[in-house]
Each structure stands twice: as structure tokens, then as C-alpha cells.
Amino acid sequence: MALLQSIPGINGTAEVQEGAFAVPAELTVERGGFDPWCLSAFASRLAEKGFAPLVFKDGGAALRLRRDGAYAPEAYTLEVERAGISLTASGERGIIQGLTSLFERLAGREIPCCRLSDRPRYGHRGFMLDCSRHFFESAEIERILEEMALVKLNIFHWHLSDDQGWRIESRAFPKLHAGGPRYTQEEIRRIVAFARDRGIEVIPEIDLPGHTTALLSVYPELSCREEPVSPVTGGGIFPIILCAGKERVYEFLFTLLDEIADLFDSPLIHLGGDEAPKTEWEQCEHCKAALKRLGLEDFEDLQGHFTARLAEHLAGKGKKVRCWNDILKSRVLPGNMDIQYWVEWDASGGLESYFDRGGGVVFSDMFSLYFDYPASFSSLQKVFRYEPAIGGRSRAASPNTAGVEACLWTERVPTAAALERAIFPRLFALAETAWAGPGDYRDFEDRLRLKLETLKTRGVSFTPLEQCNPEGEARLAEIARFWKEFQASSGGIELAVPPETMAEMSKAMARGFNLPELPL
């Protein structure tokens, strides 16, 4: 029976009962005061299976929604009986998760009787997609969002700017995307609504002050030297970044971020902050003057100050900021900020003390949750067993752990099919651990086999299960192939990172990925 075979598993109680509810051609629904948008994804999935549109009814409906304010966000109870179905939650997001469970149990035109009481392990269950290095059409974004929703992932972190391209329409600064593909403001709004209907919040990321070659190639006056900046295509860390000492940079960013903030209903904006080399700032009269005027100790603090000014501005629009953990190298931090963990190599002290002081962290450990690395680096089992940790100590159960998020950087992901193969089925292992917590891997694989059958029917690409946990020769061959491609696609790492840092990074990567050696 389909009841206990879904992904993610039930994080609570599940009872299977005799019999089934026969879904009528026209399903009646008592909304119980919930907003109709929370039923729209469920309705369109039923429509795809040949059912008629839902019919809302005040009494005597087959599917009854009930509100109970005592339920945690996204928690729900679903009772399927022969005579009808009732679904209880505190808000629309809980209803959406319950309807997803209901839909996942539909077998033919029946839903087996059951009683499920379910809630997520983590409030943040995310996926980040880099749409700068390669651009993916909005139909593909919606396809990914639908697959995320079916496994109860609830955050889409959209990396919309980087060195290689600016991907979000700005009416204030249209030069940002002149000639390149980008999402129009209408597309953004449509995707945000599509995601919301599936219980997914969209968090935009505008990476600042580094990873801004695309921006500076059209607005070089925002750099320290104000000299022409060449666009880049290869991956890497590039030395020319936004100047933090000129007032015009802040004015530009306030206008730009205002425009972006209005397109998204998430209370968060991700401001990146990773991999921002300070070589330009160290030579810049404006940056040096700012450092002195503000009484800051070093240029990392200047990055903290830069981010804090943007954060303060965004607070005026009711937005909080998130930054990659690199920002913790600064002693100056915004008040309204939380952190996305990706690597500890030079921020581990700052990260531990930030966390222990009560700062919120989303965990995206690159050694487990960066899906641009192939299965030989980050196997399906490794993702399944991932537990948030800092300094080798588990932080899985801390209230400061907001949740987990997988990331896909797309320097080497040129097509939608390659994107799907990189994330599926590892995204399902992430969904499993994020919603239900660690469990029995073999049992997960059994459920996964069924899941992959349904993916096939929707034409979604994925890495075959037998290639998801490579070992021995197969693993070594894949690793060698990957490094060759990695080096061929990297344009600017050596440029910006001193040799001793490169050597440290190499060692940390070999350790983190458990690799025999590293040709960096």
C-alpha cells in the first residue's frame, strides 16, 4: 500500500486503516476559512489526473479543512475515512503539506484510509539554484518548484547575480542585463506566486560586494579604480569588487535593492557576502578613508559595515538579511541578520561564537550539500546522513539551527537536463532528513525506487540509483574526470586567492570530500 512509502516519511504518527476513500469525479471541499490559494496546487495536480475542478461547499463536503491554532506552522493531521477526509492545521502552509500527503497517497481513484499526524523537523528545507552562471527558463524553475513541493521542501533560494551575469530585470538600471537572459519582473512575480501556492518561499540572493563582475562591467564607476572591467564567463573568485568607500555605491544599491525587495514576499533578502577579496580596497583612497573615519580595524570590518548599511536600509522595508558565513570574519555585523553556513575554512571561530550567542544558521555544508560536485564527492548516502555540525560538533538539535539547504552552482551545469541529473535524487535525500530526520537508508532507497518511477512519468531527468553511491575504481575515475572539467572551467581563482590560502583550501577539500589527493 502507498501509505508509508512516500518521501519524506511521516515525522509523527501514521496509522493505516481498512478501506479507502473513493475520490469522486468532482471533489467537494469545505474550506474552513482557509484562503483558496492553498488548494490551487492540489487542484491542478488532480486536474492532471483527469478530475474535475474542486467545488467549494459550506457543509457536507467530502474534504473538510479545519483550523486549530495550536498546530505548529506546517504541521497537520490528515484523517482519510471511507465517508470523507478531514485535514487540520493552523494555517495555509500546514494545509498545503497535508494536501501534498493526500495527493501522494492517491492510488488510481482511491486514497487508502489512514490517520497521519505529521510535522517538519526543520522550518527551513531549502534548495539554492545559481541562475547566473547558466540561465534556466522560468518553465524549468516551475518544474523544479513542483518537484520540491511534492517532497515538502519549502525554501527556494534564488541566486540571481554573480560575476557571469545579472539575471533579474531592473527598471532603474536596465544596463545590468542588457543583451543577456534575465527574468522579467512579471516572470518573477508569477514564479513567486507559483511557489507560494506550493508552500515554498522564494528568497532572492544579490551577492555583494564580491562576485559582482557582471555589474561592474556595465557600471565600472562603482569599483575602486573606476577602470573598465571585462565580463567573465569561467568560474572563480575575481578580485575587482564594489567599492565600499564611495557614497554613490550605497545610493545605487539602495535603489536597486528597493526595486528587488518589492518583487518578493519573503521577509528575507540574501546579500551573499562570500569570497570578496580585499586587494582593491587595500589600495583605494576611498576605502582607506572610510576605514579611518569609521574607526574600523581592518577591511573585513569594512565589509561588515557595508553589509550593515544595506541591512539597515532593508530593515526600513521590513526585510531581514542573510549572508554566507564569510561575513563572520567581520567584527561589525548587522543586527537583523542570519547566516548560511557553507564552509569553515577561515570563519570557524566566528561561526561557533555567533551560533552559541544565539544566531540563526541555515546549514549548506559544501562537502555534503553542494550538488555541483558529483556523487563521488557527495553521494546519495552522504546527503541522507548529513547532520548540521560546526567544528565537528553536531548542532542538529539546537534551536539556532534553522534548517538545511542544498545548493547548485552552475558553472558546469549547462542544460536543464544536467541540472535535473545533478539534483535528483539527492534533493529527495535532503527532503527526507529535513522533514523526517535521519532514518534507515535501505528503507529510504525502497521508497526512492517508487519515487523515481513517478519522476520518469513526468519526464524529469535524474541520476540512476546505481550511480548515486560510487565506490572504488568508478569513484576514482569520476573524481579525475570532474577535476579536469573543474580546472578547464575556472577562470579566476588563482587571480584572487593567495597561494597559501589555495594550499589550505586544497587540504580542507581533500579532507572534507575524503579524497585521495587534489590537483588544485
| Site of interaction with ligand ACM (CB under 6 A) | 274-275, 324, 342
Which among Zn ion, ligand ACM, none contacts residue 342 (Cβ within 5 to 8 A by kind)? ligand ACM
Tally of CA atoms within 13 A in the half-sphere of 201 that contains its CB: 17
Site membership for Zn ion, residue 339 (CB under 5 A): no
Site membership for Zn ion, residue 245 (CB under 5 A): yes
Exactly one of 189, 286, 313, 320 binds Zn ion (CB under 5 A); that residue is 286
Q: How far is the CB of 245 from Zn ion (least distance, A)?
A: 4
Which among ligand ACM, Zn ion, none contacts residue 324 (Cβ within 5 to 8 A by kind)? ligand ACM
Q: How far is the CB of 302 from Zn ion (least distance, A)?
A: 9
Residue nearest to ligand ACM (CB): 274
Which among Zn ion, ligand ACM, none contacts residue 274 (Cβ within 5 to 8 A by kind)? ligand ACM
Q: How far is the CB of 254 from Zn ion (least distance, A)?
A: 18
Q: How far is the CB of 32 from ligand ACM (least distance, A)?
A: 42
Tally of CA atoms within 13 A in the half-sphere of 33 that contains its CB: 8
Backbone angles phi, psi at 460, to 5 degrees: -85, 135
Site membership for Zn ion, residue 243 (CB under 5 A): yes
Q: What is the dihedral of CA 120, 352, 273, 163, to 10 degrees?
A: -80
Which among Zn ion, ligand ACM, none contacts residue 321 (Cβ within 5 to 8 A by kind)? none
Question: Cβ-count burial of 397 within 10 angstroms (0-12 exposed, 13-18 middle, 19+ buried)?
Answer: exposed
Which among ligand ACM, Zn ion, none contacts residue 243 (Cβ within 5 to 8 A by kind)? Zn ion
Q: How far is the CB of 417 from ligand ACM (least distance, A)?
A: 23
Which among Zn ion, ligand ACM, none contacts residue 23 (Cβ within 5 to 8 A by kind)? none
Q: How far is the CB of 477 from ligand ACM (least distance, A)?
A: 26
Distances 430 to 126, 272, 405, 436, 496 between C-alpha atoms, Å: 9, 22, 8, 10, 33
Q: How far is the CB of 324 from ligand ACM (least distance, A)?
A: 5
Q: To 5 degrees, how large is the angle CA 377–CA 127–CA 209?
A: 90
Selection from 99, 103, 102, 158 nearest residue 126 by Cα? 158
Distance CA 438, CA 383 (A): 10
Dihedral over Cα of 140, 145, 146, 150: its sign? positive
Which among Zn ion, ligand ACM, none contacts residue 165 (Cβ within 5 to 8 A by kind)? none
- Do the beta carbons of residue 427 and residue 127 sit within 8 Å? yes
Which among Zn ion, ligand ACM, none contacts residue 435 (Cβ within 5 to 8 A by kind)? none
Q: CB nearer to ligand ACM: give 275 or 420.
A: 275
Selection from 290, 167, 286 nearest residue 226 by Cα? 286
Stretch that binds Zn ion, among 125-133, 235-243, 368-376, 380-388 (CB under 5 A): 235-243
Site membership for Zn ion, residue 276 (CB under 5 A): no
472: left (phi over 0), alpha (psi -120 to 50) or beta: left
Q: CB nearer to Zn ion: give 216 or 390.
A: 216
Which among ligand ACM, Zn ion, none contacts residue 222 (Cβ within 5 to 8 A by kind)? none
Supply the DSSP symbol for 165: E
Tally of CA atoms within 13 A in the half-sphere of 60 that contains its CB: 0
Exactly one of 75, 129, 287, 311 binds Zn ion (CB under 5 A); that residue is 287
Distance CA 341, CA 339 (A): 6
Size of the site for Zn ion (CB under 5 A): 6
Distance CA 28, CA 88 (A): 16
Q: Quick one: cell of 13? A: 504518527
Q: How far is the CB of 238 from Zn ion (least distance, A)?
A: 15
Distances 335 to 198, 218, 446 between C-alpha atoms, Å: 31, 32, 45
Q: CB nearer to Zn ion: give 247 or 466.
A: 247
Q: How far is the CB of 364 from ligand ACM (least distance, A)?
A: 8
- Do the beta carbons of residue 449 and residue 4 sit within 8 Å? no
Q: CB nearer to Zn ion: give 99 or 287.
A: 287
Backbone angles phi, psi at 463, to 5 degrees: -80, 130
Distances 339 to 210, 304, 362 between C-alpha atoms, Å: 17, 13, 6
Q: How far is the CB of 275 from ligand ACM (least distance, A)?
A: 5
Q: Quick one: cell of 420? A: 535535473
CB atoms within 10 A of CB 447: 17
CA 281 from centre of chain: 31
Exactly one of 43, 188, 284, 407 binds Zn ion (CB under 5 A); that residue is 284
Which among ligand ACM, Zn ion, none contacts residue 275 (Cβ within 5 to 8 A by kind)? ligand ACM
Site membership for Zn ion, residue 224 (CB under 5 A): yes
* 12-22/110-118 β-pairing: antiparallel
Q: CB nearer to ligand ACM: give 45 or 270.
A: 270
Site membership for Zn ion, residue 208 (CB under 5 A): no
Which among ligand ACM, Zn ion, none contacts residue 286 (Cβ within 5 to 8 A by kind)? Zn ion
Q: How far is the CB of 197 from ligand ACM (least distance, A)?
A: 29
The binding site for Zn ion (CB under 5 A) comprises 224, 243, 245, 284, 286-287
